[in-house]
Chain A
């Protein structure tokens, strides 16, 4: 179904839902939720190995297999452009030259809001080094356009702060961002439930990336399925062209021939 596929950096994926791999109770639940979501792209974080850990302990990539999913390493926890760039270089080495990365440069640990300056600086460097940068950013239409102009392959404005579940806070900004974009616009962060994802797609977004909305649902596998449907429903509603909003009623049944 080509209307539900998305092309990022020249590669086409059959799902417009992208998911994270954090906050699950265990790897098995993570794998089951990813499967139920239908996602083909899964974000991962890059962190120090625990020294002294049991050598036989299971590994995320035994469950979220690189042969099955396109892994999207993120730069979560980076507060400077230098750290984000360094993390991406390590991720590229870790994943055998894989170039697709999710860039985030945070400004503050309480809000986890993007630092615009750091994000722009890191994006510039990473694009120059040949990375395919999907960039997490604010819902500022100017920032989004600047990041696109720097060569990012996708721009990912937040709906609301990471893990907040508040849904899209400014639909008009998202509309402006979508209207001005020539690269995929993927809402990333702040989605809470299925309707939030559907709204993003109805606004014309190309996809939605979420983690907490699924992982912190009471039934993550069921929520993953709900999100899969929401993305499809929202996309079809967008393509169908919605009816206009009206101030007053417009009857659905004819007025002629009413019994009297």
Chain B
């Protein structure tokens, strides 16, 4: 399937969860927040949240700013 992650197309073998997506993107262990189709999904639910073809995902982290 193909998702849009941070505005870019991202292929991912299905079935997959948000947890699997984080692993596939090599982001495991980093402090992140995820929005899935416009809804924030708490970290504790990533493993149970399935992603489908054409889903939109935003993955953010903290960076330097004023």
Contact = CB atoms under 8 A, between A and B. Distances in A.
Majority DSSP secondary structure for residues of A touching B: mixed
A212 interface: yes
Given A49-B32, A91-B33, A60 B60 contact: no
Interface in B28-59: 28, 30-35, 40, 42-43, 58-59
A45 B6 contact: no
B64 interface: yes
A162 B66 CA distance: 9
B60 A47 contact: yes
A76 B26 CA distance: 27
B6 to A, nearest CB: 4
B31 A74 contact: no
B65 A90 contact: no
Given A48-B6, A48-B58, A93 B33 contact: yes
B65 A51 contact: no
Contacts of A61: 31, 62
A51 B33 contact: no
Contact of A51 (B8, B30, B66): B8
A94 interface: yes
A51 B35 CA distance: 15
B62 A71 contact: yes
Contact of A59 (B5, B6, B31, B65): B31
A216 to B, nearest CB: 11
Contacts of B25: 49, 51
B11 to A, nearest CB: 12
Interface stretch (A15-23, A116-124, A198-206, A217-225): A15-23
Nearest to B61: A49
**Closest 9 interchain pairs by CB?**
A45-B65, A211-B66, A20-B66, A94-B33, A21-B64, A55-B26, A44-B62, A93-B33, A48-B6
13 contacts: A20-B64, A21-B66, A22-B64, A44-B65, A45-B64, A46-B33, A49-B61, A59-B30, A76-B65, A76-B66, A94-B33, A162-B66, A163-B66
